[in-house]
Amino acid sequence: MRYIGSFILPFALLASEISLTGALRNDAMVTSRRESAAYSDKLHEFNNILETGIVLEAENEDWKYYGDARAYFYEGSSVGSTSGNGRSEDVKLMRSFLRYTSGIGTTTLGKAFVNVGNGGLFNPFEIRKLVTFSDLSYTREGFLLASQTVNWQDTSELLVYAGSPNPFNYDPFWGISPGFHFSGMQGGLVVSHARADHNNAGIFLKGDYGAGFHGSWNTVLSDEGNYRYNEAVAGMDYSVNAQWFFDAGGYYNQSGADNPAEYETSETAYLSAEYYAFFSANYIPDEFLQMGVMAFINATDGSTLLLPSVTTFLSTGLSATLLFVLPTATGQTEFSQDLYGAATTLVRVEGKF
Amino acid sequence: MSKIRAIFFTLAVTSLLHPESAMDIIRRVDSNEDFVTQKYTATMVITRGSRELKKTMTGYGASRGEKAFIEFTNPADKGVKYLKLNNELWIYFPDADDIMKISGHMLRQGMMGSDLSYEDMMRAEKLEEDYSAKLLEDKTIRGRSCYQVELAAKTPEALFARQIIFVDKEWYTAHSVELYAHGGRLLKTMELQDIKLFQGKYVPTKTVIEDKRRKNSKTTLILHSIEINGELADSVFTHKNLRK
């Protein structure tokens, strides 16, 4: 996969406009436990992730190249042993693609994202489902794919895509999604194949008539058609004085377990249980400060994860965040202190240059 | 010949006795702000107390403000693009490679955290059509003699219930604007400074916007270059161009 960039990069040399931007982010985390975990004898664990990224863009009249490479430096107990901290490094090519814009739409080829449905939390149409509570705006890694969007009079769009997460391990995905937007409403249909035995057929809607709303419904079918389940997300958002922002919703996954003893994690489901509720309240007085709290409630076992945070923007491109991950339950529950620790404190410093 | 002179004399005396009406002034302000296309580069400086954020952009406009396209160019926001088509607003986020529509309550947010809301950005209203006008006492702003015009919204749909505009008596461009809410509260002020002539239009090259609901906050828009009524392809104002 990492050779894609070197294959596409020569095209960038033909561009009329080239830009290079970078980002540096450091996450320092301390997790406090009531009792020592099975893999560590310490009550306080420290982990640090230093991430550096470079984005190269080269564009011409009709096409552009976009490349996003990251280097990660991990340090702490999660990469160590019971006796102490460890260190490791990783390099990832997050995206590397060519995009051609023609009279009918855009063609994308390379390692890229495919955005199907409404996007946001718990989108049932994501090809690989992942939620990182300490970083909900986590940047996904692209897939090797070819996609085509066809626009019609700026009121509707057709997206067609096909690709594979790993070209050396035959596991293709494909999909087609016609979408529309009219007045305050937008929506569409999705028919796709995400992986073996995961064929999707669903609908998504989004709008705003004073308060915002969004909803998606997806039916997942096995290849033989002998097994199926439903997955859905719905929510509402509202703001007061353009400074207070509220969001609430629910997530349903029929394939989720209704008994904590049967919880499993996989890339085909965001979480393990059947029913969830989530809400957030944020206060953003200006561009320099934002604070808020998010809550995820597992309605099957009653456990809750609270995520209070505050972010300050120190200067152009430089921000600092303090985030707490606070599970409320103990025992065999999904958001359990036995699993997440009693509390995790994260300090994030991020700069773009 | 003497009859013609008499007609001119009568017209001159009449215009002195009946100076321009408030609506005539507003028509000339609208006319000065009218454009077929525009392309500009600018810097937006958001200030809160002693802290400030700088964002640079390239913008395009067409159809007398009905269409707009803005691309941010500073490293922290590079590639963020806005597309305005009539009453609809879309944003492209390069980090997610995705397009989001801004509508409803989200329009009241400050654009990129500034004192300029998305609603302000969406405003392409013709003052003459949306407001009734009344002349108040003349005033001098930054050394320029100005008409003081009070505008009252004709419909509840107008963004502001009342506006006070100080219009240059020679250039027919605003030097200062006060924007009031339907409850009578002063919402925003705009100071339009360093006015220069570009292709027959008087354009402020520095605009200071203060949202009076925020303390110690202001946004300054500094215009670096502008090209008015030049050639601009229709493809600029499309969804394809957001993802490009």
Q: Which one is predicted more confidently, A56 or B65? A: A56
Q: Cβ B54–A316 below 8 Å, yes or no?
A: yes
Q: Convert the pLDDT of each residue in A103-118 to its tens digit.
A: 889 999 999 999 999 9
Under 8 Å between Cβ of A215 and A205: yes
* Distance from the B18 Cα atom to the nearest Cα atom in chain A, whole angstroms: 44
Residue with tokens 């702003």: B141
**Residue A224 touches chain B, beta carbons under 8 Å:** no
pLDDT band at B31 (very low <50, low <70, confident <90, very high): confident
User: How many residues appear in chain B?
Assistant: 244
**Residue A239 touches chain B, beta carbons under 8 Å:** yes
Nearest residue in chain A measured CA to CA from B83: A154
Residue with tokens 């997440």: A340
Other CB atoms within a 10 A radius of the CB of residue B180 amount to 20
**Residue A72 touches chain B, beta carbons under 8 Å:** no
**Residue B98 touches chain A, beta carbons under 8 Å:** yes
Q: Cβ B96–A113 below 8 Å, yes or no?
A: yes
**Residue B238 touches chain A, beta carbons under 8 Å:** yes
**Residue B50 touches chain A, beta carbons under 8 Å:** no
Q: Convert the pLDDT of each residue in B35-78 to its tens digit.
A: 889 999 999 999 988 888 999 999 999 887 788 999 999 988 99
Q: Is A251 helix (H, G, I), strand (E, B) or coil?
A: strand
- Which residue of A105, A119, A154 is in closest CB contact with B98? A119
Q: Which of residues 171-200 of B touch A (CB under 8 A)?
A: none
Q: Which of residues 77-116 of A touch B (CB under 8 A)?
A: 95, 99, 101, 105-106, 112-113, 115
Sequence-distant (≥ 6) Cβ neighbours of residue B126 within 8 angstroms: B30
Residue type for position A203: I
Q: Cβ A286–B78 below 8 Å, yes or no?
A: no
Q: What is the mean pLDDT of chain B?
A: 85
pLDDT of B172 reads 93
What percent of the residues of chain A are helix, what percent strand, and what percent coil, each to the nearest 5? 5, 65, 35
Nearest residue in chain B measured CA to CA from A112: B97
Percent of chain A's residues with pLDDT above 90: 60
Q: How far apart are CA A262 and CA A268, in angstroms?
A: 16
Percent of chain A's residues with pLDDT above 70: 92
Q: Cβ A317–B76 below 8 Å, yes or no?
A: yes
**Domain ranges in chain B?**
22-242
Q: Cβ B104–A316 below 8 Å, yes or no?
A: no
* Distance from the B213 Cα atom to the nearest Cα atom in chain A, whole angstroms: 9
User: Residue B179: pLDDT above 60?
Assistant: yes
Q: Domain B22-242, CATH 2.50.20.10 — does that match?
A: yes
Q: Is the pTM of this model over 0.90?
A: no
